[in-house]
Structure 1
Amino acid sequence: MGAGDFTPAIVRKAFFDREREACFVCRRGLRWEGRGVEWSAHHRKPRGAGGTSDPRIGSIANLLIVCGSGTTGCHGRIERNREIALRVGLLIPTNATTETFAPAAVRVRRLDKTWWLLTESGRAVEVEEGIPQ
Structure 2
Amino acid sequence: MGVVVVGLVGRLRTGTGSWVGRSTGPSRQVAQQVVDRAGGGCEICGVAEAQQIHHRTPRGMGGSRDPAINMPANLIHICAGCHVRVESKRVQAEGNGHLVRRSQGPSEAPILRRGVWVLLDDEGGWMSCPGSS
The superposition leaves residues 32-72 of structure 1 with CA deviations (integer Å, 9 ceiling, x where unpaired) of xxxxxx6100000000002212110010110000001xxxx
Residue 128 of structure 1, CA deviation: 3.8
1:46 to 53, 58, 67: 58
Aligned equivalents of 1:124, 1:108: Cα separation in 2 = 10
CA distance in 2, matches of 1:4, 1:45: 13
Alignment partner, residue 14 of structure 1: 34
Unpaired segments ≥5 residues, structure 1: 31-37
Q: Is the 8 A contact 2:33 2:123 kept in 1?
A: no
Alignment of 1:1-133 (within 5 A): 2=22, 4-16=24-36, 18-30=37-49, 39-68=51-80, 73-94=81-102, 96=103, 101-112=104-115, 114-128=116-130
Query: Distance in 1 between the 2:113 and 2:100 partners?
Result: 15
Give a deviation string over 1:77-128, Cα, whole Å, max 9, x none: 100100011111100124x2xxxx111111101352x101000111011114
Q: Which has the higher strand share?
A: 2
Identity of aligned residues (%): 29
Larger radius of gyration: 2
Tell me the distance in 1 between the aligned counterparts of 2:38 and 2:114.
14
Rounded to whole Å, the distance in 2 between the matches of 1:111 and 1:80 is 19
State how many pairs are aligned. 112
Give the distance between the partners of 1:41 and 1:104, measured in 2 at CA. Answer: 17
Q: Which residue of 2 aligns with 1:35?
A: none
**Paired residues of 1:61 and 1:103 also in contact (CA < 8 A):** yes
